[in-house]
Amino acid sequence: MAIIDGSAPECRLLRVRIAPGYSINRSQGRDNGLTRRPSLRKEIFNLDHDQLTNVLDLAEIVVAELGLTGVRYCNGWRRPRLAWRLVDLDIGQLSALGRRLQAPIEQGIRNTVRYLKWHPHVLEAVRRRTHTADRDKTAMRLLISAYACAPRHGSEHGVGWNWITEAHRLGHTVWALVSPNHQDAIATACAESPDLAGINWVFPKVPGWPLKQATEPKWERTYNLLWQTIAVDVARDLHAKVGFDAVHHLTWGGVRAPTFMGSLGVPLIVGPLGGGETSPRLLRDEFHFKAKLTETIRDLSNMTITFNPLVRRGLVDASVIFVKTPDTRRLLSHAMQKKAVEFIELGLRGPQPPTPDRPARPPRLLFAGRLLYWKGAHIAIRALAKLAQRLPGAQLTVVGRGKEQDRLKAAAARYDLGANIEFIPWLPQRDLFALYRSHDLFIFPSLHDSSGGVVLEALWFGLPVVCLDIGGPKQIVTSDAGIVISTAGRNTAQVAAAMADEIFCVLSSPSRLSALSFGASTRARRFILSSRIAKFYDLAADFMARSK
């Protein structure tokens, strides 16, 4: 049970008591560090290898979430004792130490590690409370342009909603420019959450183009371009009244999507932007004609980024450009790359569910996403066909709908996979979360996703991910959390065969699958939303200070 005690406001001391005898302290007035009664320092040297590894994980989380990189003294900076002891030891040193010392770990440390691993929201609350003073110093009057924004949505709309609300919770005074087609949903969500009352929502409208609530406009790219021109006029009027410290173009987060907010004369933050990723030529061998034509046009459009007047102006005016992947960064000019930072926009909220126990049964694979030609579901089906030759009971669940649905079903029939594959057009989010718990691997062979929200969701539920070495998923999935399939010099059939081989190896080794599941959960904890967005605006502030 976590008890938050803020009984010493004069020195802004925060103490979180997590287990008997342990407390995490933070004070601007004096050094409280990370203490224990009796000495926690002594117990650190009495851990075996696995216990030390767990505590190291805890220390990394504490350092990341509480900001324990230094405690202010009158004569400079000094790290708290526990962080100094743990972070400066590598795994080899910890292993050697653990082999020499076998004394059992005290139950309080076990409880602390276990509690914090499955309750990262406690650390999130601690970080917010402990950094109140810092936020007050760095809080901005922030204008966020988020054309796509809606609560309880994924993709661009979810990014818009999550970032606007979290920027507000972090202490910034937020004005949000949003397309009006989700105005009712936003009003309802804000009414349900009193802590969102301070956000200033503005819904610019394109004259003569009325929108239905919860419905995206036809010819949306044209509508978005017109909306951007209206939004900048609204922003100019607001700036004259408010005097913004910064303006942030958030959504659409595509490198080909224009913004005109640089004309306000306010430091402009752009991104995170994606869209520079492209499907390898060899993996277009099974595309139909329209897909091949679309990819070629997309490639040509990306080549015009730095001299397209609609797009170039915003990138030139930006104080900092955040990009999701190295592929998008490479599209920028040399001058633009100097102010570019790689940063994936995804983040997670709430308590992390425990990693489920997976009973002995035929292996179950999961794909979730729109059924579009570049999402790679056809590669997953071909890999399943190869895998079923060695594991006849292997199952693939495909969740999603889209233009390729009929082609994918025809492919499943052609490979005689009727008994091995299930298509589910749509599921509410809670039911999709249940599928994460009941499957063994998440298959996501997308050909040019900039990030991949479902990938991070799968990791959050301890579901290892199999993806390609392309785009955002490659940036998210590590070798400890899943399998990244090389595409170099391979066509679709060869990639599918390599994927089937890797999946077979993992499914044939329960210990490796269990290790990947643990690694997936650990990796997901690097993407706590509040920490990510706080870091984002800290980086942006640094660039804006340099550009003055």
**Among the ranges given (119-123, 332-336, 343-347, 398-402), the one the predictor scored with the smallest mean pLDDT:** 119-123
pLDDT in tens, 84-96: 444 455 555 555 5
Q: What is the pLDDT, as a whole number, of residue 527?
A: 93
Length of the chain: 548
Q: What are the φ/ψ torsions at residue 171 (nearest 5 degrees)?
A: 105, 0
Cα–Cα distance measured from residue 196 to residue 215, given in angstroms and rounded to the nearest whole number: 24
The one-letter amino acid at 323: V
Query: What whole-number percentage of the chain has pLDDT above 70?
Result: 75
Hey, what are 527's tokens? Answer: 């993407």
CATH H-level superfamily of 364-526: Glycogen Phosphorylase B; (3.40.50.2000)
Residues 26-48: what's their mean pLDDT?
42
- The count of C-alpha atoms lying within 13 angstroms of the C-alpha of 433, restricted to the half-sphere facing its C-beta, is 9
**Is residue 432 a contact partner of residue 487, using CB atoms and an 8 Å limit?**
no
Hey, what are 95's tokens? Answer: 């292993």
Q: What are the φ/ψ torsions at residue 418 (nearest 5 degrees)?
A: -55, -35
Cα–Cα distance measured from residue 47 to residue 37, given in angstroms and rounded to the nearest whole number: 17
Residues 284-289: what's their mean pLDDT?
94
Residues 92-108: what's their mean pLDDT?
49
Residues 487-492: what's their mean pLDDT?
96
Residues 328-355: what's their mean pLDDT?
90
Residues 27-52: what's their mean pLDDT?
44
Over the range 89-111, which residues count as b (16 or more CB within 10 Å of their CB) and which as e?
A: beeeebeebbeeeeeebbebbee
pLDDT in tens, 194-219: 999 999 999 999 999 999 999 999 99
Judge whether residue 105 has pLDDT over 90.
no
Cα–Cα distance measured from residue 166 to residue 533, given in angstroms and rounded to the nearest whole number: 7
**Is residue 201 a contact partner of residue 238, using CB atoms and an 8 Å limit?**
no
pLDDT in tens, 505-526: 999 999 999 999 999 999 999 9
Confidence of residue 548 (pLDDT cuts 50, 70, 90): low
pLDDT in tens, 58-84: 555 444 444 433 333 333 333 344 444
Q: What is the pLDDT, as a whole number, of residue 225?
A: 95
Judge whether residue 52 has pLDDT over 80.
no
Q: What is the pLDDT, as a whole number, of residue 454?
A: 94
Q: What is the pLDDT, as a whole number, of residue 19?
A: 36
**Is residue 108 a contact partner of residue 20, using CB atoms and an 8 Å limit?**
yes
Q: What is the pLDDT, as a whole number, of residue 109?
A: 54
Q: Which residue ranges does the chain devote to CATH 3.40.50.2000? A: 139-347+528-547, 364-526
The closest alpha carbon to 128, from 26, 18, 22, 271, belongs to 26
- The chain-wide mean pLDDT, for the chain, equals 81
Q: What is the pLDDT, as a whole number, of residue 86?
A: 46
Query: What whole-number percentage of the chain has pLDDT above 90?
Result: 66
pLDDT in tens, 106-130: 455 555 555 555 655 555 554 444 4
**Among the ranges given (111-115, 373-377, 436-440, 530-534), the one the predictor scored with the smallest mean pLDDT:** 111-115
**Is residue 150 a contact partner of residue 215, using CB atoms and an 8 Å limit?**
no
pLDDT in tens, 222-276: 999 999 999 999 999 999 999 999 999 999 999 999 999 999 999 999 999 999 9
Region 139-347+528-547: CATH code:
3.40.50.2000
Q: What is the pLDDT, as a whole number, of residue 356?
A: 76
**Is residue 202 a contact partner of residue 179, using CB atoms and an 8 Å limit?**
no
